[in-house]
Amino acid sequence: MSPASAAKPVPRPGAMKIEAYVPGKSKAPAGVKLHKLSSNETPLGPSPQAIAAFRASADALELYPDGSATALREAIAGRYGLDAKRIVCGAGSDELLSLLCHAYLGPGDEGLFSEHGFLVYKIGILAAGATPVIAKEKNLSTDVDAVLAAVTERTKVVFIANPNNPTGTYLPFDEVKRLHAGLRPDILLVLDAAYAEYVRRNDYASGLELVASSENVVMTRTFSKIHGLANLRIGWLYGPEGVVDVLNRIRGPFNMNGPALAAGVAAITDREHEEKALRHNEEWLPKVTKGLTDLGLTVTPSVGNFVLVHFPDEAGQRAPDADAYLTSKGVILRRMEAYGLPNALRLTIGSAEANEAVLGHLKAFRSGARA
C-alpha cells in the first residue's frame, strides 16, 4: 500500500481534545417507575398553547421554515421590550454558543470560563481550534477577580453562566458589570442566562441592560427549561448589531425548524403557564433543600430549578453509591465527575411525587435501611 493510499482526513488538533458531552441518564431498571431528575427539565411540561401550535404546524411539513425566525424574534422582542433586529434564534442556546466560538475564536486564541462552568464552553472553544482557560471559583461561584486575573493578550471570549449550571449559584449584577468594566473592548463577554426566569433575587439581572449599552456583550437564553421545549431545541441571543450580523452570516440558512418556531411563539406569550412553573419551583426548591440538609447532606444554595448535593467521603455513602441506589429505585440524578465534582449529584426539582420519592429513597440510603 502506497503512503498516499494510506492517508486519511485529519481533523484539526482541537477536535481530538474534546471529551464528548454526555447527557444525563434517562433510563431506569425494568419494573420501577422512572423519575428523571438529571437534565433540569420542567416537571410541568410545555404550555398547552405551544403543544397546539406544534401540532398545527404538521400541515406544512413540506415547506421550508422562515429562515429569519421573524415571528419568534418579534415575540421575544415584544415580551422583553427588545429590538427584534438584535435577536438571533438557534437550535438551542448550545448552537448559538458554538457559533460564537467559531466566529470569534481560532488557533492561538483563548476562551475563558469558570471552574465549574457549563461543559459546552470547553467543547466549543476546542472545536474552534482555540485554547480553553479555566478561572478558579470561590465557594462554587464565579470569582470576578480570578476571571480578570486569567485574562491574557490572547483572550477573545469570556463565558459566564449566570446562574451557573451545575452549581446553581449566581453573580450579582454589580459583579457582572465590574467584570465587564475590567475586560478589554475587544473581548466578547457571553452571559449564558439559561435559568434566568427562575431567579428571584433583587441583585440579579440576566444581562439585557448591559447588552443594550455595550458593543462586546451578548446574552443567550433557552426555551428548554422553564418553557419545557427541550425536545424542540430553541435558543435565542441578544447582542450588538455587529455580533448579530456576524452570526447571521455564518449560521445555517434554516437553522430552526417550523414546528419549533411555532411552539416557541406560543410559549413565550403564555405567561400564565410560565408563572405556574415558577410557583412550583418556588414551592419545592426550599422544601427539597431542607429535606436534603435534614438528612445530613450539604446543598449548595441554588437560584435555579436544581440543587447540587454533596455527599460525605465515607465508604458506602459517597455520591456514586447514592447514584447506584437511587437508579435501582428509578430515580435518576446527574453525576458530576465531568464537572470536577465527583462526590456530588445534581438533582432537578421535579414533580411533587418525584421530589418526595428522591427524599424518601435518600433517607433509606443514608440510614442504611436499604431494601
Task: Examine the pLDDT at 242 and tell me if it is beyond 90.
Answer: yes
Beta 344-348 vs 334-335: how paired, if at all?
A: antiparallel
The torsion angle over the Cα atoms of residues 268, 271, 272 and 277, rounded to 10 degrees, is 70
Task: Examine the pLDDT at 224 and tell me if it is beyond 70.
Answer: yes
Farthest-apart Cα atoms in the chain, separation: 69
Confidence of residue 31 (pLDDT cuts 50, 70, 90): confident
Confidence of residue 24 (pLDDT cuts 50, 70, 90): low
Task: Examine the pLDDT at 185 and tell me if it is beyond 80.
Answer: yes
Q: Which stretches within 156-239 are classed as H helix?
A: 173-181, 208-212
CB-count burial class (<10 Å; 0-12, 13-18, 19+) for 136: middle
Beta 110-114 vs 155-161: how paired, if at all?
A: parallel
Confidence (pLDDT) at 18? 74
Confidence of residue 21 (pLDDT cuts 50, 70, 90): low
Q: Please name the residue that has the C-alpha cell 437560584.
A: 303
Cβ(138)–Cβ(117) below 8 Å? no
Cβ(338)–Cβ(19) below 8 Å? yes
Confidence (pLDDT) at 30? 73
Condensed to tens digits (0 to 9), the pLDDT of residues 274-287 reads: 999 999 999 999 99
Concatenated DSSP letters for 93-143?
HHHHHHHHHHHH--TT-EEEEETT--HHHHHHHHHTT-EEEEEPPBTTB--
The torsion angle over the Cα atoms of residues 76, 90, 137 and 311, rounded to 10 degrees, is 100
Q: Please name the residue that has the C-alpha cell 428509578.
A: 330
Q: Which of 10-14, 187-191, 222-226, 315-319 has the lowest mean pLDDT?
A: 10-14
Non-local (6+) Cβ contacts of 223 within 8 A are 229, 230, 232, 234, 235, 236, 264, 267, 268
Cβ(70)–Cβ(248) below 8 Å? no
Non-local (6+) Cβ contacts of 24 within 8 A are 36, 38, 39, 332, 333, 334
Peptide bond into 342 cis (omega under 30): no
Confidence (pLDDT) at 16? 77
Helix (H, G, I), strand (E, B) or coil at 221: strand
Cβ(143)–Cβ(134) below 8 Å? no
Non-local (6+) Cβ contacts of 101 within 8 A are 111, 124, 125, 127, 128, 130, 157
Condensed to tens digits (0 to 9), the pLDDT of residues 48-100 reads: 999 999 999 999 999 999 999 999 999 999 999 999 999 999 999 999 999 99
Confidence of residue 5 (pLDDT cuts 50, 70, 90): low
Confidence (pLDDT) at 7? 86
Helix (H, G, I), strand (E, B) or coil at 156: strand
What does pLDDT average to over the chain?
94
Task: Examine the pLDDT at 371 and tell me if it is beyond 60.
Answer: no
- In the chain the domains, ranked by start, together with CATH numbers, are 23-45+272-367 (3.90.1150.10), 48-269 (3.40.640.10)
Confidence of residue 1 (pLDDT cuts 50, 70, 90): low
Confidence (pLDDT) at 13? 76
Helix (H, G, I), strand (E, B) or coil at 235: strand
Task: Examine the pLDDT at 2 and tell me if it is beyond 60.
Answer: no
Q: Residue 305's closest CA among 348, 352, 262, 351?
A: 348
Confidence of residue 211 (pLDDT cuts 50, 70, 90): very high
Task: Examine the pLDDT at 3 and tell me if it is beyond 70.
Answer: no
| Element spanning 203, H or E | none
